[in-house]
Amino acid sequence: MSVHTTQVRVSVPALTACKGKQKIAALTAYIAPIARMLDEHLDMILVGDSTAMVGYAMPDTLSITVDMMAAHAAAVVRATQHACIVVDMPFGSYQESPQQAFANASRMLAASGAQAVKLEGGQVMAETTRFLVERGVPVLAHVGLMPQYVNTMGGYKAQGMTDAAAQRVLEDAVAHAQAGAWGVVLEGVAEGLGRRITESISIPTIGIGASPACDGQVLVTEDILGLTNGKIPKFAKPYADVGALISQAAAQYASEVRDGSFPTLDQCFGVKR
């Protein structure tokens, strides 16, 4: 049973109310056609800054801009009716100060129609979360493996693998929960840590490479559809090989163009049959 009903978009409070009652199903989307196909099946769609790598072939998530994220989020909002739409705040758009964060978050929400923003960071960003929430901006926090911190973390490495590291991640999640975040994404953390955080805070945890115990799960859609360029992450599961179908269709089209079998008169205008 999904939290949404026909023609009523899932709200942030409805997602928060899922804690301990119903798992939250979420995927990413960056463009209208994908978002439209996902919408009826999901509780939340994340317009992630992974758009940079998946959509633009950038080496990491650091170069995408506020305007780019707002444009992708607006396309996803226009294409959907049911899922709650959350948009990532890109690197450099919120770390300087809570005031900078509010200016960019409010701008992105107003331009796109998304319902919440997601921001990465540990305890140091909790006051920014509080500042945004107190001014009407719902915040989904993101702790653990944080792609925007790739340079300081030394790559995309699992987090919380020692007792001390796990305690830091737990404290990060607790800080955001206390600051008013409506949920927290746990990415790339030890399974036991994901379980422990889920049991320790009163807001939903949404796992991506965390634990089955999390209150929900999110994955990059392209990872589950065979649309990635290379090996899919350990935490993802392939559900279809859409990439192979697209390649096959393109190959058949190209062959028919070259041998003259496409187009036929059926695809032409002004032809009387």
- The confidence score (pLDDT) of residue 109 equals 98
Task: Please check the confidence at residue 189 and state whether its pLDDT lies above 70.
Answer: yes
Q: Is 120 annotated as a binding residue?
A: yes
Q: Is 50 annotated as a binding residue?
A: yes
**236-266: per-residue pLDDT in tens?**
999 999 999 999 999 999 999 999 999 999 9
Angle at 127 (CA atoms; ends 141, 179), nearest 5 degrees: 60
Task: Please check the confidence at residue 232 and state whether its pLDDT lies above 60.
Answer: yes
**92-145: per-residue pLDDT in tens?**
999 999 999 999 999 999 999 999 999 999 999 999 999 999 999 999 999 999
**DSSP per-residue string spanning 7-35:** TBPPPHHHHHTTTTTSPEEEEE--SHHHH
Q: Is 40 designated active site?
A: no
- Domains parsed from the chain with CATH numbers: 12-240 (3.20.20.60), 242-273 (no CATH)
Q: Per-residue confidence at 7, pLDDT binned at 50, 70, 90? A: low
Measured in whole angstroms, the distance separating CA 49 from the mean position of its chain's CA atoms is 8
Q: Is 237 annotated as a binding residue?
A: no
Q: How far is CA 219 from CA 7, 81, 118, 193, 237, in A?
A: 25, 20, 15, 19, 9
- The confidence score (pLDDT) of residue 3 equals 55
Q: Which amino acid is at 266?
A: D
- The confidence score (pLDDT) of residue 1 equals 46
Give all strands (DSSP E) within 6-112, no chain letters.
Answer: 24-28, 44-47, 84-88
- Give the three-state DSSP class for 101: helix
Task: Please check the confidence at residue 2 and state whether its pLDDT lies above 60.
Answer: no
Given the residues 187, 191, 199, 256, the one annotated as active site? 187
Cα–Cα nearest to 242, from 25, 37, 26: 37
- Give the three-state DSSP class for 184: strand
Q: Is 241 annotated as a binding residue?
A: no
Task: Please check the confidence at residue 197 and state whether its pLDDT lies above 90.
Answer: yes
